[in-house]
Amino acid sequence: MKRAIDQLRAGDSCLERRDIEANHARLLARNALHRRFGYDSGAGVGFVLEKALPLCGHVLDVGTGKGRFVVALARHVPKVTTVDISPEEQRFARLEAAHAGIVGRIEFVLADARKLPWRAGTFDAVASWNAFHHLDDPARVFAEMLRVLKPGGKLVLSDFSPSGFRLMRTIHAAEGRRHPHPPSQFPCWRARLRDRSFAVRYFIGHHQEVLIAKRLTSSPRLSSQRLTINHQASRAMQIKHN
């Protein structure tokens, strides 16, 4: 006879069905509140994934949060690791992944994103959704994301758009709280990535800003220089043989 309380093991955590269901109910209630004010997190996640996919190989998600993004991401990629500094947030995300039936497809790592515990060039793609506005040192986290990205890999960055931040401010004000709203980093990110020979695409929709960048294996400038050198060498050989 099936046990009344179904226990799911994920890493060292023992997740009971009642905890899974309670966590999911809280997330649904929060999502419903957001929708009443005009923000649909499911639509926002879907918009980002629509622009980002396909993502191949091993993907790193920076900023686990409640798991909205990483749970959706795990349905589309072969392997995903998610990192967060908060054990409480990761427990919420692990419970939501268990509810979705995909907890075994996600590796949960507790670490400071300012110093990611992986070697350079570890991941085929690195993504972050609605996390950067919470960071004390976004420039350092951005640099770490680039460091662990493989040559030819894809970077996916998304945060609230100006309209999204206005909605979050309204929601939190109605609860007597304040929502962080730092200056947008997207113009700076786009410029820095292009300077580092990334092909960059930018989108805005569903109250999200989205930046998709593909790291080129070699820069167009260097490739052009190599072509010029090769052409000159070939021309010199022709002259010599003539």
Q: Which tens digit of pLDDT belongs to each residue from 162-214?
A: 999 999 999 999 999 999 999 899 999 999 999 999 999 999 999 999 999 99
Quote the Cα angle for 123-124-129, to 5°: 80
pLDDT confidence of residue 215: 79
Residue 20, amino acid: I
**Gyration radius from the chain CA atoms:** 22
Rounded Cα gap, residues 148 and 154, in angstroms: 11
Q: Which two tokens stand for residue 35?
A: 């929708």
Residue 105 has pLDDT above 50, yes or no: yes
pLDDT score, position 139: 95
Domains along the chain?
A: 7-241 (3.40.50.150)
**Residue at token pair 């349905």:** 75
Reported confidence tier of residue 91, pLDDT bands at 50, 70, 90: very high
Q: Residue 99 pLDDT more than 80? A: yes
Of the pLDDT bands very low, low, confident and very high (cuts 50, 70, 90), residue 15 is low
User: Residue 11 is which amino acid?
Assistant: G
Q: Check pLDDT > 50 for residue 13.
A: no
In 3D space, the residue among 186, 131, 120 whose CA is nearest the CA of residue 153 turns out to be 120
- Encoding tokens for residue 239? 């002259």
Angle (CA) 143 85 215, round 5°: 25
Q: Enter the tokens of residue 62.
A: 């920076």
Mean pLDDT of 108-131: 98
What does the alpha-carbon distance between residue 75 and residue 80 come to, in Å, rounded to a whole number?
10
This prediction has a pTM of: 0.84
Q: How confident is the model at residue 227 (pLDDT cuts 50, 70, 90)?
A: very low
DSSP for the chain?
---SS-EEEETTEEEEHHHHHHHHHHHHHHHHHHHHHT--HHHHHHHHHHHH----SEEEEE--TTSHHHHHHHTTSSEEEEEES-HHHHHHHHHHHHHHT-GGGEEEEE--GGG-SS-TT-EEEEEEES-GGG-S-HHHHHHHHHHTEEEEEEEEEEEE-HHHHHHHHHHHHHTT-----PPP-HHHHHHHHHHTTEEEEEEEETTEEEEEEEE-SS-HHHHHHHHHHHHHHHHHHHHHH-
Rounded to an integer, the average pLDDT of 85-111 is 97
Partners of 2 in beta bridges: none
